[in-house]
Structure 1
């Protein structure tokens, strides 16, 4: 019996680790889901199709989560591919602020009082 990697509804099945060559993490820093990525130049002609798909999704500034959603690839796969693209100098990344502090309660009360006075 010959096993076929085909699903009638989904088409050929490609396992995520095949796309990333077995890697589960990007090189260097991990990509936060809210990090903004943007392509910095044209794609080289030898770029694999999955990398090209991700790079095309990043032609305008986009979050990592949006890039994964737009390409239909798993977030983990997109993170690895983004790491490859970053290493190749094909995109830039802007990370979100490490922490956002909440305003003090007394400041919020002052703002509310000021708004009510209007």
Structure 2
């Protein structure tokens, strides 16, 4: 019988072999407020304590500023689980976060209409 860390984390046919909630140890709420468009970046500090393989992979993805949504997509994990993993890394000093910056009012009607027009052109 193989040890827990010996086998692959992904199976091509079945997908992820470990349920997402086990990756975050059953936690559903991050300790740090993160939006999907929040930027995260590695600080270069070595995290103390045990990091799971998903933590390590997330940290590798954050060498340059990247959004939480992009990290979730690359990890192929739900955004809620990704936020918990990233908040763990922020708590141990391995990541820094920057809230999203809006150059325009995000609820500006003209801006929203321009986005809608752009989406319609893509369809």
Correspondence for 1:21 = 25
For 2:28 and 2:99, the matched residues in 1 are separated by 20
For 2:38 and 2:90, the matched residues in 1 are separated by 13
1:48 aligned residue (52, 69, 72): 52
2:35 aligned residue (9, 32, 36): 32
For 1:38 and 1:68, the matched residues in 2 are separated by 14
Larger radius of gyration: 1
Kept in 2: contact 1:43–1:55 (CA 8 A): no
TM-score by length of 2: 0.67
- 1:62-112: per-residue Cα shift (whole Å, max 9, x none)? 0000111112121111100001000000011000147942499xxxxxxxx
TM-score by length of 1: 0.70
Kept in 2: contact 1:38–1:92 (CA 8 A): yes
Matches within 5 A, 1:1-118: 9-10=13-14, 13-29=17-33, 31-41=34-44, 43-44=46-47, 46-97=50-101, 100-101=104-105, 102=108
Aligned length: 98
For 2:12 and 2:69, the matched residues in 1 are separated by 28
Structure 2: which 5+ residue stretches go unaligned? 1-9, 111-123
When the two chains are superposed, the root-mean-square deviation of aligned CA atoms in Å is 2.8
Alpha-carbon offset, residue 17 of structure 1 = 1.0
